[in-house]
């Protein structure tokens, strides 16, 4: 729930921008598109009751709007701005007072003293919001003290800062401070609402808001009770001491001196929820976890490889390694055949021995095509039967019809494949029988059979296949593989986004850098030899010494480990920043680990001293907004911390303070809204939340004040 205490809807003074003018319809449309749930209408020296009422009707209860005015106040000769805001229930009386005060004067002419301001409006129990240091025209410290000295409720005086940083500084030094948009252009309002204050406690009305400002305990308890919570009974320590704490679906801070068992409590909370079936574990920031999380050493590198567009050539490498020379039919066999022809009449009558070869090189290819097609059709049938998405978009009749057609197609492919198989095996059997007859005739009659072919086709085809396979291997080795890029996290606005880049390359014989590691457990030298010899095989496919290179290939020590090109794959994984290699520091690693933990969608987050190794700027700008976002989502966030930014600026619903004194260990719970901490063991013992927080997290009130003076003097 965001609040905007300083909103203009009218151009009332000459210096006001025309873009401050907004119709009730446009106003409601813009506001309803944002997270702002409370606005105070504070035009310069004017309150437009009619416009206010129309805006309230247009918002229809979805957003609270409060009546207000920004006055030009003169005190001790100096002009400053003071905003007065009242309850919507008192709008009519508020309007009458303003009309009486401004009668006969324009917004540019009107001024009022502090005394007249209080006398006119105090009976309406208003909020006073003074422009303060840097918010021009600002009210002096003396004028604010004078205002407070007029008998008004000091809890209802707020100092308006220029932004969240200024407000944070003022609050840290004991001032009640807030800031509004002071909107100048309604067309740009949605761009600035992200910087507006977030109310940690839900507010029902103007009166409720005022009670919370006054730290009214019943009002605070009522607001806190709306947030879901449960009481946990934990046994975090070895002495079996039980600790009862209240856990909110929000931010729960555990703080206290070192050695008081804060981590033990976190571990007990994790165990409690894990035993109930909700996964929970304590996050501890450690720099080396970043390298492990992104597997920089590549222990599980194979899971992340995408070789799309690359053929790993498993079959080609297997064929090359098994290749043998196929000789052509020598002229000697033809001469023997013709010299022995017609000498034996019985041999002459046996024509089967002279049958030509029926089996061709690719006799089985058509059979394999039919077989693969049949397998894929069957896979499709199974897919149709089991896929739920298809069930959702088709009827039973449609699926049955489609499956029936596919079954018919599958049957035809299966029958066709058996026919092709029969033809292939018949040809192979016939060729084998013919060869047996030729061998037998030659053995018994001495007559040579006519060679069935010259053998040149088989010889040449074998050589060409080896050349084609080796060429394909070399082409794929030289293909580029796209780097895999993963976003790691932002190192801050100045440095930007850290990434994890993984480069892949096949060992092509020219990669010697140690940064490239092999995917397989083998020597790089053997990989290089494989590539070199494969290139030689490709070059010598038609040379006499081709098979010398094949023999050399099979003699490589680790050749049995190279079954495909994936076994030649090298990788180089590293972190990069703006495209350059980068080694994040320990602090940056901790920062990114924590950011990653909070980026996960979980129900429970348990953070043990997340501030370790982190800079305050990163904690303020990145981590605290992430933690607050988890609270808005209703997640349970438990944080053990020694950091004031984390413990205080998150405005936790629950602060758990662990301490040790003469009476032993103690556990107190409370919150910054009520400014109290109550002992769980003895509810009569209470502590001041602010003082304890300053003592534990800031080194004490004196040290905190000293730093304030140093900052103030500089």
pLDDT digits over 274-332, tens only? 998 888 899 887 767 788 888 888 887 766 677 778 888 999 999 999 988 877 666 65
> What φ, ψ does residue 667 adopt, rounded to 5°?
-125, 125
Q: Do residues 97 and 189 both lie within one domain?
A: yes
Q: Do residues 567 and 624 both lie within one domain?
A: no
Which pTM value belongs to this model?
0.60
Q: Do residues 310 and 258 both lie within one domain?
A: no
What is the C-alpha to C-alpha distance for residues 400 and 378, in angstroms, rounded to an integer?
14
Whether residue 652 lies inside any domain: the answer is yes
Whether residue 468 lies inside any domain: the answer is no
To the nearest 10 degrees (0 to 180), the angle between helices 546-554 and 314-322 is 110
The owner of tokens 């095989």 is 537
Whether residue 148 lies inside any domain: the answer is yes
Chain CA centroid to CA 143, Å: 50
What is the C-alpha to C-alpha distance for residues 697 and 673, in angstroms, rounded to an integer?
18
Give the chain's length.
714
Whether residue 265 lies inside any domain: the answer is yes
Q: Are strands 664-671 and 676-679 parallel, antiparallel or unpaired?
A: antiparallel
What is the C-alpha to C-alpha distance for residues 582 and 580, in angstroms, rounded to an integer?
6
709 pLDDT exceeds 50? Answer: no
Whether residue 271 lies inside any domain: the answer is yes
Output 472 or 170, whichever has higher pLDDT: 472
Q: Do residues 652 and 568 both lie within one domain?
A: no
Q: Do residues 498 and 559 both lie within one domain?
A: yes
Whether residue 458 lies inside any domain: the answer is no
How deeply is 650 buried, as exposed, middle or buried, from its count of CB atoms within 10 A (0-12, 13-18, 19+)? buried
Q: Do residues 8 and 108 both lie within one domain?
A: yes
pLDDT digits over 540-556, tens only? 988 888 889 999 999 99
Q: Do residues 163 and 187 both lie within one domain?
A: yes
Whether residue 615 lies inside any domain: the answer is yes
- Domain containing residue 499: 301-315+478-581
Q: Do residues 269 and 342 both lie within one domain?
A: no
pLDDT digits over 600-653, tens only? 888 999 999 888 777 777 777 778 888 888 888 888 999 998 877 788 778 888
Q: Do residues 138 and 242 both lie within one domain?
A: no
Q: Is 84 left (phi over 0), alpha (psi -120 to 50) or beta?
A: beta
* Token digits of residue 140: 């002096």
The HSE-up count of residue 515 (CA atoms within 13 Å, CB side) is 10
Chain CA centroid to CA 281, Å: 19
pLDDT digits over 373-425, tens only? 888 999 898 888 888 888 888 888 988 999 999 999 999 988 988 888 888 78
- What value does the CA radius of gyration of the chain take, rounded to a whole number of Å? 42
Cis preceding linkage at 642, omega within 30:
no
Domain count, the chain: 4
pLDDT of residue 47: 96
Q: Are strands 654-661 and 636-640 parallel, antiparallel or unpaired?
A: unpaired
DSSP alpha helix (H) spans, 283-364: 288-293, 314-322, 331-340, 345-349
Residue 73, domain CATH: 3.20.20.140
3-state SS, residue 660:
strand
Whether residue 320 lies inside any domain: the answer is no
Chain CA centroid to CA 207, Å: 41
591 pLDDT exceeds 90? Answer: no
Q: Do residues 560 and 498 both lie within one domain?
A: yes
Q: Do residues 198 and 49 both lie within one domain?
A: yes
Q: Do residues 577 and 674 both lie within one domain?
A: no
Q: What's the mean per-residue pLDDT of the chain?
A: 84
Structural domain ending residue among the three candidates 402, 418, 453: 453
């Amino acid at each position: 729930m965001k609040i905007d205490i300083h909103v203009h809807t009218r151009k009332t003074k000459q210096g006001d921008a025309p873009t401050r003018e907004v119709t009730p319809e446009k106003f409601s449309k813009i506001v309803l598109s944002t997270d702002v749930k409370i606005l105070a209408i504070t035009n310069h020296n004017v309150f437009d009751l009619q416009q206010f009422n129309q805006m309230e009707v247009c918002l229809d209860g979805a957003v609270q709007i409060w009546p207000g005015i920004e006055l030009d106040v003169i005190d001790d000769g100096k002009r400053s701005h003071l905003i007065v805001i009242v309850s919507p229930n008192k709008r009519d009386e508020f309007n009458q007072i303003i009309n009486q005060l401004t009668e006969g004067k324009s917004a540019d002419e009107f001024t009022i003293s502090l005394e007249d301001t209080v006398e006119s409006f105090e009976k309406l129990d208003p909020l006073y919001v003074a422009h303060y240091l840097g918010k021009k025209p600002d009210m002096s410290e003396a004028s604010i003290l004078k205002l407070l000295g007029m008998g008004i409720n000091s809890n209802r005086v707020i100092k308006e800062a220029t932004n969240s940083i200024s407000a944070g500084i003022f609050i840290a030094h004991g001032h009640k401070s807030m800031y509004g948009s002071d909107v100048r252009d309604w067309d740009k309002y949605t761009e600035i609402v992200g910087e507006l204050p977030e109310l940690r406690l839900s507010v029902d009305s103007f009166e409720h808001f005022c009670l919370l400002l006054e730290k009214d305990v019943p009002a605070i308890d009522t607001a806190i009770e709306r947030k879901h919570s449960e009481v946990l009974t934990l046994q975090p320590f070895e002495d079996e001491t039980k600790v009862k704490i209240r856990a909110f679906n929000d931010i729960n801070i555990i703080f206290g001196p070192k050695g008081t068992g804060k981590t033990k409590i976190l571990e007990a909370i994790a165990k409690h929820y894990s035993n109930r079936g909700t996964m929970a574990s304590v996050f501890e920031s450690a720099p080396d976890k970043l390298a492990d999380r992104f597997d920089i050493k590549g222990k599980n590198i194979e899971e992340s490889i995408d070789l799309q567009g690359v053929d790993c050539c498993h079959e080609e490498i297997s064929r090359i390694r098994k290749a043998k020379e196929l000789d052509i039919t020598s002229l000697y066999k033809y001469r023997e055949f013709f010299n022995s022809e017609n000498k034996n009449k019985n041999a002459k009558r046996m024509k089967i021995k002279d049958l030509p070869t029926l089996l061709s090189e690719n006799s089985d290819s058509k059979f394999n095509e039919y077989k693969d097609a049949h397998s894929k059709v069957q896979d499709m049938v199974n897919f149709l039967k089991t896929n739920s998405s298809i069930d959702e978009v088709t009827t039973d009749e449609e699926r049955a019809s489609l499956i029936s057609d596919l079954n018919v197609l599958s049957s035809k492919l299966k029958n066709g494949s058996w026919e092709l198989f029969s033809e292939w095996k018949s040809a192979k059997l016939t060729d084998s029988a013919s060869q047996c007859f030729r061998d037998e005739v030659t053995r018994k009659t001495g007559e040579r059979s006519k060679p069935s072919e010259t053998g040149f086709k088989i010889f040449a085809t074998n050589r060409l296949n080896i050349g084609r396979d080796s060429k394909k291997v070399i082409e794929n080795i030289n293909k580029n593989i796209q780097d895999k890029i993963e976003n790691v996290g932002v190192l801050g606005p100045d440095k930007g986004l850290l990434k994890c880049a993984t480069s892949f390359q096949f060992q092509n014989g020219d990669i010697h850098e140690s940064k490239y590691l092999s995917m397989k457990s083998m020597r790089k030298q053997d990989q290089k030899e494989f590539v070199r010899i494969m290139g030689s095989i490709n070059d010598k496919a038609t040379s006499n010494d081709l098979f010398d290179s094949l023999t050399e290939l099979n003699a490589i020590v680790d050749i049995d480990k190279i079954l495909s090109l994936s076994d030649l794959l090298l990788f180089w994984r590293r972190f990069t920043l703006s495209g350059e290699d980068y080694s994040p520091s320990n602090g940056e690693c901790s920062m990114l680990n924590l950011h990653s933990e909070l980026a996960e969608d979980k129900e429970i987050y348990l953070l043990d001293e997340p501030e370790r190794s982190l800079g305050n700027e990163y904690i303020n700008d990145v981590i605290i907004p992430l933690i607050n976002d988890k609270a808005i989502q209703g997640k349970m966030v438990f944080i053990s911390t020694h950091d004031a930014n984390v413990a205080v600026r998150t405005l936790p619903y629950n602060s758990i303070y662990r301490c040790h004194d003469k009476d032993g260990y103690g556990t107190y719970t409370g919150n910054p809204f009520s400014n109290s901490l109550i002992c769980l063991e003895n509810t009569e013992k209470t502590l001041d939340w602010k003082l304890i927080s300053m003592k534990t997290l800031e080194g004490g009130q004196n040290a905190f004040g000293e730093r304030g003076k140093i900052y103030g003097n500089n």
